[in-house]
Amino acid sequence: MTITSPSAVGGPALPQRRELVTEIPGPRSREILARKSAAVPRGVGITVPVFVVAAGGGVLLDVDGNSLIDLGSGIAVTTVGNAAPEVVAAIVDQAQAFTHTCFMITGYEGYVAVAEALNRLAPGDHEKRTALFNSGAEAVENAVKIARAATGRSAVVAFDHAYHGRTNLTMALTAKAMPYKSGFGPFASEVYRAPMSYPFRDGGLDGAEAARRAITQIEKQIGAQSLAAILIEPIQGEGGFIVPADGFLPALAAWAAANGVVLIADEVQTGFARTGAMFACEHEGVVPDLIVTAKGIAGGLPLSAVTGRADLLDAVHPGGLGGTYGGNPIACAAALAAIDRYEHGGLVERAREIGAILRGRLDAMRAADPRIGDVRGRGAMIAAEFVDPASGEPDAALAARVAAAAHAEGVVVLTCGTFGNVIRFLPPLSIGDELLVEGLDVVRSALETS
Ligand SMILES: *Cc1c(COP(=O)(O)O)cnc(C)c1O
């Protein structure tokens, strides 16, 4: 067995430049890709078919020596920076001390400290609790378990374009069939879908009107007395970086509070400084009953959390929540270091600066090219939606061509959206302005030739 070892250090020590020394993918990546095809099922896809040996700042270094600009952060995970030195040091220290006990068997302080940090940082100054898990989907499932146990009700509402994960319950909660659900049913019951506020595509409904439309449907088709929870991404991620109209989230929150329905904010993608606030709910002053976090929480280590009202989390009987690895000590150490950077490293402000650069560039591209129908998002979570200028219909083929052209030039961008016609930008907050601008210039050229 051959394993390519890192040929350079990662983290900020990695030279911050885009440099292609082979085509993408290069010969060494192609070799590993062939092994991947023989060893890994095709259901596990790779967006940019290169294999990485080091990463940091705003770049990914591949096995062929190509240095790519990272505008995806491994889907909003390495927000604090890839191999961020403080995170790496915390991981090394903890790994040398102990790697696992199972928190449900014998405890350790790191788990408690992460819970305290999340209780302090999550919106609202009420008493809170936090339980830790491994993945975003697992945390979403547990938020639903908690809401059902606390309310004694079973129905859950999720929204059009929602993405909540790939496990059975979260597939049911996720809207898009292909590739997430198709062929994988039957799905969990008592999941209902409500219309989202999607300003670019819902005929200009304002936030209050869109909320009334959703609430009427919920009241008529489910009934508040059967509803345990409303689950919503404050800005939808996989669904297309859809920012609901102002007032939509506060109106849903008010209705949920008045009806004893648990409001669960899925901030797995939006959390931890990404949107220019510690959590996206803060932009509209919404205080969710439960908030689900993962992705950016631990600088790349698998960790997720449900944080929220103490009375809700404590409604679950002892032993009702947990898992073998949930709150692994190395992941907790990484999270404490990452959270310290989010709080004290100026990263919320940095996300806003990055957002201003992204917006400025993308708005200019839109002004020059009517195939960009919409530019939206907040902070370092911005997207462009591609359309047929004549009809306004989604143009997924164009988004795919632009993304492929950017990849070939060494810029990692991701597509998303129910219609597949959105390119999203999720740079690590450790990227420098020059590299970010260079990456966006490559995308602009890609659009011009697509
Ligand atoms: C990625 C994501 C999830 C699922 O997280 P996993 O760690 O992949 O299970 C859930 N909700 C949102 C909003 C996400 O972006």
d(CA 215, CA 293): 25
Lowest mean pLDDT among 1-5, 44-48, 174-178, 316-320: 1-5
**What average pLDDT score do residues 300-311 get?**
98
What is the number of the ligand 1 atom nearest to the C-alpha of 135?
7
What pLDDT band is residue 4 in, cutting at 50, 70 and 90?
low
Please give the distance, rounded to the nearest whole angstrom, from the Cα atom of residue 165 to the centre of ligand 1.
5
* Range list of H helices, 287-395: 310-313, 329-344, 347-368
Give ranges for CATH 3.90.1150.10 in the chain. 7-70+346-448
What pLDDT band is residue 3 in, cutting at 50, 70 and 90?
low
Out of 3.40.630.40, 3.20.20.70, 3.40.50.300, 3.40.640.10, select the CATH number for domain 87-344.
3.40.640.10
pLDDT in tens, 165-208: 999 999 999 999 999 999 999 999 999 999 999 999 999 899 99
pLDDT at position 429 over 60: yes
- Tell me the DSSP string of 210-245: HHHHHHHHHHHHT-GGGEEEEEE-SS-TTTT---PP
> 442 by DSSP, 3-state: which?
helix
Residue in 164, 181, 281, 306 to alter for ligand 1 test, most ligand atoms within 8 A of Cβ: 164
Please give the distance, rounded to the nearest whole angstrom, from the Cα atom of residue 265 to the centre of ligand 1.
12
Count Cα atoms within 13 angstroms, Cβ side, for 11.
Answer: 10
pLDDT for 8? 54
Q: Is the CB of 140 under 6 A from ligand 1?
A: yes
Question: CB 93: neighbour CB atoms within 10 A?
Answer: 12
Q: Is the CB of 137 under 6 A from ligand 1?
A: yes
Which residue owns the Cα nearest ligand 1 atom 5? Answer: 136
| Single-letter code of the amino acid located at 368 | A
What is the number of the ligand 1 atom nearest to the C-alpha of 238?
15
d(CA 428, CA 124): 27
Judge whether 292 and 325 are in contact, CB under 8 Å.
Answer: no
What is the number of the ligand 1 atom nearest to the C-alpha of 267?
13
What pLDDT band is residue 210 in, cutting at 50, 70 and 90?
very high
pLDDT in tens, 124-164: 999 999 999 999 999 999 999 999 999 999 999 999 999 99
pLDDT for 11? 87
pLDDT for 30? 98
Give ranges for CATH 3.40.640.10 in the chain. 87-344
**What average pLDDT score do residues 328-355 get?**
98
What is the number of the ligand 1 atom nearest to the C-alpha of 236?
13
User: Looking at 91-243, which runs of residues are DSSP E strands?
Assistant: 128-133, 155-159, 191-194, 227-232
**What average pLDDT score do residues 247-273 get?**
98
CATH homologous superfamily for 7-70+346-448?
Aspartate Aminotransferase, domain 1 (3.90.1150.10)
d(CA 51, CA 22): 13
pLDDT at position 384 over 60: yes
pLDDT at position 423 over 60: yes
Q: Is the CB of 266 under 6 A from ligand 1?
A: yes
pLDDT at position 1 over 90: no
pLDDT at position 264 over 50: yes
Residue in 44, 73, 163 to alter for ligand 1 test, most ligand atoms within 8 A of Cβ: 163
Percent of the chain residues topping a pLDDT of 90: 97
pLDDT at position 5 over 90: no
pLDDT for 6? 52
Please give the distance, rounded to the nearest whole angstrom, from the Cα atom of residue 27 to the centre of ligand 1.
33
pTM attached to this predicted model: 0.97
Q: Is the CB of 233 under 6 A from ligand 1?
A: yes
What is the number of the ligand 1 atom nearest to the C-alpha of 270?
13
pLDDT for 230? 99
Q: Is the CB of 236 under 6 A from ligand 1?
A: no
